[in-house]
Structure 1
Amino acid sequence: MTQPPVPDVLPGAGAHVVLLVDDEPQACKWFARLYGDEFVVWTAESVDQALQLLATSAHAIAVVLTDFRMPGRDGVALLRVLRSDFPHVVRLLASAYADKELAFSAVNQGQVEGILEKPLDDALTRRTLREALAQGAERARHFDQLRQRADSLRETLGFLAHEVATPLATVSGYLSGMRDRHQLAPQLEPGIARLSERRPGEVMHMIDAAQRRTEYAQSLVSTFVQSARDACMGGTGVSLRARDLVQAVQAEYPFEPEEGAWFDGDVEADFELPGRRDLLYLVLCTLVKNALMAMRTAKPERPRLQVRLTRSAPAPGMAATPAIVVIDNGPGIPEAVLSRLTREPVTTRAETGGSGMGLLFCQRVMTSLGGSVSVASELSAGASVTLHFLSMNPNQEPA
């Protein structure tokens, strides 16, 4: 069995290896020597050896060319495993004339996608391998995209479950409070009940707040449904302007009555957003929530939460690109925490249920779009989180 170390062979090339499976050592050496000038060739002398290679390096193998007659399990048995467990691999069978009936049976059953007759014709074999490599590499990219979508969906679902739990817990608390204030009024008509208030207007406050949080939870669930639909269908969602995203968050986020007045949306420097509306909506809601919670812990004299569209350089020396900045004038972030943000789960609100996953989730979404997240803060002077996007027009000059 020959397997060059994957990192030493065409680094970053993805699926690029031709694996020959033949129980004759000389045939393996001959094939590797003859075709190694054009292709990356690995060899295995049995089905078991081939499966060992696939178990550790399936991501690198694009084509398997297998002999039919081998001791133990034959080539068709290997082809069956390839079809079920490694669908990105192109399956070829090397067949002698006497094996033709079995070979065509394998073709008809969908186990093999091409046959090369022994002795191998050099020109035909090279042409077949080139076509199979291109097909295998494309399949590998396709299955990798499916895997990434599934991973993204799982991550979004986990984060979404945490985010939905917060407003639902608040709704449950308000309903419990209303139950405590509920009093039957036997002196009134049957079916009439009375809610006793400890403070004027508190029942309506609980009803309004519960409704806002219910609507917000519904918007988050809609976000996940759209993410799931896009992941299954391979869609990218509807294009969106940054102005529309900011205005949607301002209209749908469940601000407390006084908090709505803190919000200031500066959307003059509008631009088109990449990616899906649902994930970016969740990102911006997360940043707004973080800013509000920071200001609640140490409320400034005049609380202010600004979401501004602008152009900003992702790093010193780089050109300015479109950006969304979320700014608050809360207590700020300690240096020890600031240096770890966007790199690991870290929170200053663990005692109130903070997990530190919010900003990390935002970072991963932005990275998937080719952008980035930067955080700046001074103690007692607030914090700003900037979402840096790639410019939709690479020829556009910085503002």
Structure 2
Amino acid sequence: MTHAPKPANLSPGTRPPHTILLVDDEAQACKWFSRLYGDEFAIATAGSGEEALDFMSAQGRQVAVLVSDYRMPGMTGVQLLRRVSDAHPHVVGLLASAYADKDVALQAVNEGKVHAILEKPLSEAGTRAALREALALSVRKASDKVLLEQRATSQREILGFLAHEVTTPLVTVRAYLQALRDRVETAGEEEAEGGAVAVLSQNRPGEVIQMLEAAQRRAGYAQSLVSTFVQTARDSAAKLGPVTLQASDLLQAVSEEYPFEEGQAHCLQCEVEQDFSLPGRRDLLYLVVCTLIKNALLAMDAAGTEDPAIVMRLDRSSPAPGLARLPVLQVIDNGPGIEPDILARLTREPVTTRQRTGGTGMGVLFCQRVMSSLGGSVDVRSTLGQGTAVTLYFPQADAGPPDT
């Protein structure tokens, strides 16, 4: 067996399928095929179906195209290609067949296990064209598989993050309800005609109302997250495209629905220099902005920032000198800032400034993942003692001339 050479500069996990595996029980045919087409393709050969299956078990990820002779002892080419197709869906099967076997070969093509037939004796030009087409098809199939796996991983991460974001306010609601229950005092039946009267004790005037209002805000926020994702699922099931959303509408939704603590809402301001249409799904972008607001509020609260302020700003800006100006959504705070060593790793790995209070560092990574899926990016800039600015860059074809 001749093993295919490995392309340089690619690890086994990222290397696309590239090998052409020829299966023929005639050794001379294998040598001729390797010599003739080895100038353009990475060629491997096997002398039987069993030998080919052994090769696929060991190096199946490298194989893009399997060319098999139809008539072989022990296992026909069609039988081999069926087994390989089931185990390695990205492999494109070509069957080399003499004219006498054409009816059987055509049946294999109709069954979908064989992509095309190479009629013996092989034509060099025709075979090269068929190999090029099959190789390109295999690479596309492998890429599609990776994309589907990435999407599945992304969906799991999104659902996990959503569950975390919903659980946090619900835990707070339960805590408030428990606190209210602890404050219940029951007066004797003799004090009320209709029976016992429940009285809520307060440590300060208005405390009970504040707790109820806070619980209501958090329950409303959790409901808004769930409702948004449910609507997206319904639209997807109905095969409806995403509804166009203006960035200013998103900011308004966040301003109205985010569960601010008492006295926090006034610190949030919106500045719309240039509005724009948002790409992608409203649910994910809503969760991204809410995550950034939450991070800013927690940082400023932990640092005891005087006169805390958060600005959500819409504008256009260039990610670097010489590049086109893109639509941006910025979340800017006047909090404590981020340590330089954490800032350098913030969008690349799960790091957090709130490890002692349960921070996981997944929030910014989630935002980065969402923006990358939209063709955008996230930029985080911060100066200790002066605050943090998170900029979400959105793609746009007519973004305008580059900054000079």
1:303-342 equivalences under 5 Å are 303-342=308-347
Equivalent AA in structure 2 for residue 260 of structure 1 = A
For residues 56 and 281 of structure 1, the distance between their equivalents in structure 2, rounded to whole angstroms, comes to 46
- TM-score by length of structure 1 reads 0.85
Match of 2:142 in 1: 140
Which range is displaced more, 322-331 or 176-185?
176-185
1:156 Cα deviation (Å)?
1.3
Quote the residue 2:251 is aligned against. Answer: 246
Whether 1:165 aligns to 2:167 is: yes
For the pair 1:2 / 2:7, whether they are aligned, the reply is no
DSSP-derived class of the 2:160 partner = helix
Give the distance between the partners of 1:325 and 1:99, measured in 2 at CA. Answer: 67
- In 2, are the aligned partners of 1:328 and 1:384 still within 8 Å (CA)? yes
Contact kept in structure 2, 1:311 and 1:398, CA below 8 Å:
no
Residues of 1 paired with 2:270 and 2:355: CA distance? 29
Shift of 1:113: 3.4
How many corresponding residue pairs? 398
In the TM superposition, 1:1-399 aligns within 5 A as 1-7=2-8, 14-15=16-17, 17-37=19-39, 39-47=41-49, 50-51=52-53, 54=56, 61-70=63-72, 74-96=76-98, 99=101, 102-104=104-106, 106-107=108-109, 109-185=111-187, 187=189, 188=192, 189=194, 193-225=198-230, 237-396=242-401, 398=403
Deviations 1:130-155 (A, max 9, x none): 44344434433433332221121122
Structure 1 335/129 Cα, relative in aligned 2: closer, same or farther at 3 Å? closer
Residue 326 of structure 1 deviates from its aligned partner by 1.0
Cα distance in 2 for partners of 1:287, 1:365 equals 13
Deviation at 1:259, TM superposition (A): 0.9
Mapped contact 2:97–2:118 kept (Cα < 8 A): yes
Inter-partner Cα distance in structure 2 for 1:226 and 1:43? 53
**TM-superposition CA deviations, 1:260-319 (whole Å, max 9, x none):** 111001123212223322222221111111000011112322111111112333235544
Following superposition, the deviation at residue 331 of structure 1 comes to: 1.6
SS of the aligned residue for 1:258 comes to: coil
Separation (CA, whole Å) in 1 of partners of 2:35 and 2:154: 43
Deviation track 1:65-121 (CA, whole Å, cap 9, x = no partner) reads 222444555534432333333323322222345655654554454433333333334
Q: Identify which range, 360-369 or 52-61, moves more after superposition.
A: 52-61
In the TM superposition, what is the alpha-carbon distance from 1:233 to its structure 2 partner?
9.0
Q: Amino acid of the residue matched to residue 4 of structure 1?
A: P
Quick one: structure 1 residues 341 and 275, their matched pair in 2 at CA, closer, same or farther if it must change by over 3 Å?
Answer: same
8 Å CA contact 2:4, 2:19 repeated in 1: no
SS class of match (2:328): strand
Moved more, 384-393 or 250-259: 384-393
Mark the runs of 5 or more structure 1 residues left unpaired by the alignment: none
- Residues 303 and 336, structure 2, Cα contact 8 Å, conserved in 1: yes
Task: Name stretches of at least 5 consecutive residues in structure 2 with no aligned partner.
Answer: none
CA offsets, 1:148-183, max 9 Å, x none?
Answer: 211211221222222222112111211211222234
Structure-2 separation of matches of 1:17 and 1:86: 14
Would the alpha carbon gap of residues 73 and 368 (structure 1) be closer, same or farther in structure 2, given more than 3 Å must change?
A: same
RMSD: 3.4
The alpha-carbon distance between structure 1 residues 375 and 262, as it changes in their structure 2 partners (threshold 3 A), is same
Cα distance change of structure 1 residues 24 and 161 upon mapping to structure 2, 3 Å threshold: farther
Query: What is the deviation of 1:28?
Result: 2.1
> CA distance change for structure 1 residues 13 and 306 in 2, over 3 Å: closer, same or farther?
same
**What is the CA distance between 1:196 and its match in structure 2?**
3.2
User: What is the identity, as a one-letter code, of the residue corresponding to 1:148?
Assistant: Q
Evaluate the alpha carbon distance shift between residue 60 and residue 239 of structure 1 in structure 2; reply closer, same or farther with a 3 A threshold. farther
**C-alpha deviation, 1:240, in angstroms:** 2.5
Q: Structure 2 vs 1, CA of residues 301 and 231 (structure 1 numbering), >3 Å: closer, same or farther?
A: same
Whether contact under 8 Å (1:197, 1:203) holds in the other structure is: yes
Distance 1:246 1:90, change over 3 A: same
* Residue 245 of structure 1, CA deviation: 1.7
Superposition deviation, residue 219 in structure 1: 2.9
**Structure 1 residue 2: deviation in Å?**
2.1
